[in-house]
Structure 1
Amino acid sequence: MTHIAKTILSRSPGRINLIGEHTDYNNGFVLPAAIDKAAYIRFTTREDNKILLTSRDYQTTHETTLEAVAPSDKGWPNYLLGVVDQLLKKGIPLTGFEAEVWGDVPAGAGLSSSAAVECAMLIALDAAYGLGMTRMEMAQTAQAAEHAFAGVKVGIMDPFASLFGKEGHVIRLDCRSLEYEYVPFHAEGYRLVLCDSGVHHSLASSEYNVRRHQCETGVAAIQQIHPEVKSLRDVLPSMLKEIKDPIIYNRCKYVVEENLRLVAACEDLEKNDLVAFGQKLYKTHDGLSRLYEVSCPELDFLVEKAKPQEMVLGARMMGGGFGGCTLNLVKADGVDVFRERMTEAYQKELGKTLKVYVANIGNGGNVL
């Protein structure tokens, strides 16, 4: 029987997270949305066992076989190979294939370009081989791939948002139960504007894993007195006094407060009180900078510059930290002035070029 090559074109978007940062791996709440920037994959099956990957953005290729799937020191192939590895470990029969990847999610900006690539790959594999995977299975597979091949112990939020996004809505996700609800984002007259610091610290991955460990250490200290506590999600502010180490205390205090802030922020959105919502963004940034210590001078500068501007309701750093973007809630008719002021100040005071994007909330990944 002759093999008929099957070609699939898939896309999956990057994401923003409005509030609830570093809460996902602590079994807390997050409030992400998919955006209108995505990763794309052109996927074609082969009849042999060869895997040929091409990156349009990096102008480079990577070749291997199904039997030899392993992490690559090139970096970018790992997001594709990691999900293949997960499927092979589950005993899912695959053939060789060719996959070309490209996209317009800025890498290193905290918009989760890695999850976008992993999810686009899973959507392509699922369609090409008729695997019948659910969206939740895809999200969990992408998360496991990032742990195993990229070495970053990410939570479920990034692949979840990339797969479950819905235009005009943010998703309130409970990272413990994986229950979720769509919350309408009625921000008529306002835009979500991203200021990309252009800083991509290599620290981010290693420090991310350090923070995760610090949170687990805090939970262990609290469990001595409150054995019913399973994660920081279960911790009441009054329990934090059991943590004697000041650094661990600060890390846990931030996460406990951020979970409470997110629940209140969802109430603000339901009441369409964007002013109150914006104030919570500033408080989140303050916590991330002072207590969780994952900000950097450039991100702090961008938030401080945004604060006094009349068209801005709120601003904070977004993502893993040590670089990437700030998220700003800006009056639509003030976006151009905001962009101009921010780029000018960044150039003048830090000598750096600032990229500014308007992020529109879009739908999750699909086959094109």
Structure 2
Amino acid sequence: MEQEILKEMKAVFTEKFGDKTTRSYFSPGRVNLIGEHTDYNGGHVFPCAISLGTYALVADRDDGKTRVYSMNLADKGVIEFSMTGLAYDKAKDWANYPMGVVSVFEQAGHACSHGFDIVINGTLPGGSGLSSSASIEVLTAVILNDAFGFGLDMVDMVKLSQKAENVFVGVNCGIMDQFAVGMGKKDCAILLDCNTLSYRYSKISLKDASIVITNTNKPHSLASSAYNVRRAQCEHALNELKEVKPELTALGELSNEEFNKLAGHIAEPLERQRARHAVYENNRTLEAVAALEQDDVERFGKLMDASHFSLRDDYDVTGKNLDTLAELAWAQDGVIGSRMTGAGFGGCTVSLVRNDAIPAFKENIGKAYTEIIGYAPSFYVASIADGTHRLG
């Protein structure tokens, strides 16, 4: 499969840029098993890198110009940009993600002395909430680090990639996406404390079950105002709690019991709900990882379901498409747990499904969802993969 993808990319590269010596790279997408909208609230997340992702073929140029071409967005053509002094340019569309990384590298003292010709080919569905943007950002960081020998470790590159999205692209995302993409490890999920960046790998032993990602095929825009509004609501709630608990630096530091005692100090009921999700989801994530490490997959599944309820009722980021997929999944035989994953407002659900039930899961949910929504979902059975790396 990988060799076929690279072979096809090589033909496209030669057509667009000529016959040159190329290097190849792969950067995964990510799915978050539990712990949603906790990352920017200083809580824990539990993502894993997946076998769907972004491939790149790269050739060095001898000038300061980079040309990029995406096989997924062929209508955008070849996009050119300089390797110095970049600013966001709406006309350059998806290329703003690699441009942002080049820009933050330069600002951090890692100036690039030449440009590249790059062909990109992604196996992640765009707008699905599987972190295609983070996949491209960390991919770019690894390409630059490799080409110029900057000597950055992966956590440094992850931080710069997040900065590119926050500062250059203007999306106020937390660090989870880039961290999972860069630091992924085969057959493991990552328990990450987003407040301290301390992390550990947890072996995922699903035995006779698999991770099934179901795409609503309703695109979401992460830059949408709703995401930044939720973030602002949580920040405001935190500031009100700090008035009575000055040492508090993040909602993720609170136990459920502490939050319940202090919640009355959040004046706005809607902000109280948002903060409750952030606190409860963080503690639910810790409980879920403990359950998985004790081989209690059933308990993990129940906590996934509870996560979706909270995202639906307290955080209000699910919507009809995601709720329909989750509700249909809960009714299927062989489903251990199912929830929305990613920012919400469209995108995907993640389900743990027993292997022998996967064909019926796809058939039944595909049919029912199409009847309710009016168009079909897409299904991906994902394996857990390594983080961004050079292939050859």
TM-score range, shorter chain: over 0.9
| Separation in structure 1 between the aligned mates of residue 382 and residue 46 of structure 2, nearest angstrom | 15
Please, what is the CA RMSD of the aligned residues? Answer: 1.4
Among candidates 199, 221, 224, match of residue 205 of structure 1: 224
User: Is 1:75 the counterpart of 2:93 in the alignment?
Assistant: yes
| Separation in structure 1 between the aligned mates of residue 21 and residue 197 of structure 2, nearest angstrom | 34
| Separation in structure 2 between the aligned mates of residue 204 and residue 336 of structure 1, nearest angstrom | 35
Task: State the one-letter code of the partner of 1:167.
Answer: K
User: Is 1:309 the counterpart of 2:327 in the alignment?
Assistant: no
Per the alignment, residue 46 of structure 1 pairs with 61
Task: Indicate conservation of the 8 Å contact 2:58/2:118, yes or no.
Answer: yes
Among candidates 328, 347, 358, match of residue 370 of structure 2: 347
Task: Indicate conservation of the 8 Å contact 2:68/2:78, yes or no.
Answer: yes
| Separation in structure 1 between the aligned mates of residue 162 and residue 241 of structure 2, nearest angstrom | 28
Task: State the one-letter code of the partner of 1:113.
Answer: S
The correspondence of residues 59-74 of structure 1 with structure 2, limited to 5 A, is 59=74, 60-73=77-90, 74=92
Task: Indicate conservation of the 8 Å contact 1:12/1:116, yes or no.
Answer: yes
Task: State the one-letter code of the partner of 2:166.
Answer: H
Per the alignment, residue 111 of structure 2 pairs with 93
Cα displacement (A) at 1:204:
5.6
| Separation in structure 2 between the aligned mates of residue 10 and residue 160 of structure 1, nearest angstrom | 17
Whichever structure has more helix as a proportion of its residues is 2
Give CA deviations for 1:21-60 in whole Å, capped at 9, x if unaligned. 0101111100000000111122222221222121121111
Per the alignment, residue 313 of structure 2 pairs with 290
The correspondence of residues 205-354 of structure 1 with structure 2, limited to 5 A, is 205-235=224-254, 236-237=258-259, 238-354=261-377
User: Is 1:30 the counterpart of 2:45 in the alignment?
Assistant: yes
| Separation in structure 1 between the aligned mates of residue 222 and residue 160 of structure 2, nearest angstrom | 25
3-state SS in 2 of match to 1:198: coil
Cα displacement (A) at 1:151:
1.1
The correspondence of residues 142-157 of structure 1 with structure 2, limited to 5 A, is 142-157=161-176
3-state SS in 2 of match to 1:339: helix
Taking structure 2 as the reference length, the TM-score comes to 0.90
Taking structure 1 as the reference length, the TM-score comes to 0.96
Q: Runs of 5+ in structure 2 lacking a partner?
A: 1-19
Cα displacement (A) at 1:297:
0.4
User: Is 1:107 the counterpart of 2:126 in the alignment?
Assistant: yes
Q: Runs of 5+ in structure 1 lacking a partner?
A: none
Cα displacement (A) at 1:7:
3.9
Task: Indicate conservation of the 8 Å contact 2:222/2:343, yes or no.
Answer: no
Among candidates 139, 152, 161, match of residue 120 of structure 1: 139
Identity %: 38
Give CA deviations for 1:295-325 in whole Å, capped at 9, x if unaligned. 1101111111111222111111110010000
Task: Indicate conservation of the 8 Å contact 1:170/1:184, yes or no.
Answer: yes
Cα displacement (A) at 1:6:
7.3
| Separation in structure 1 between the aligned mates of residue 373 and residue 107 of structure 2, nearest angstrom | 48
Task: Identify which range, 91-100 or 256-265, moves more after superposition.
Answer: 91-100
Per the alignment, residue 102 of structure 2 pairs with 84
Task: State the one-letter code of the partner of 1:285.
Answer: H
| Separation in structure 2 between the aligned mates of residue 123 and residue 112 of structure 1, nearest angstrom | 17
Task: Indicate conservation of the 8 Å contact 1:8/1:124, yes or no.
Answer: no
Cα displacement (A) at 1:202:
3.6
Task: Identify which range, 150-159 or 331-340, moves more after superposition.
Answer: 150-159
Task: State the one-letter code of the partner of 1:265.
Answer: A
Cα displacement (A) at 1:230:
1.0
Task: State the one-letter code of the partner of 1:139.
Answer: V
Task: State the one-letter code of the partner of 1:303.
Answer: A
| Separation in structure 1 between the aligned mates of residue 157 and residue 268 of structure 2, nearest angstrom | 38
Task: Identify which range, 195-204 or 69-78, moves more after superposition.
Answer: 195-204
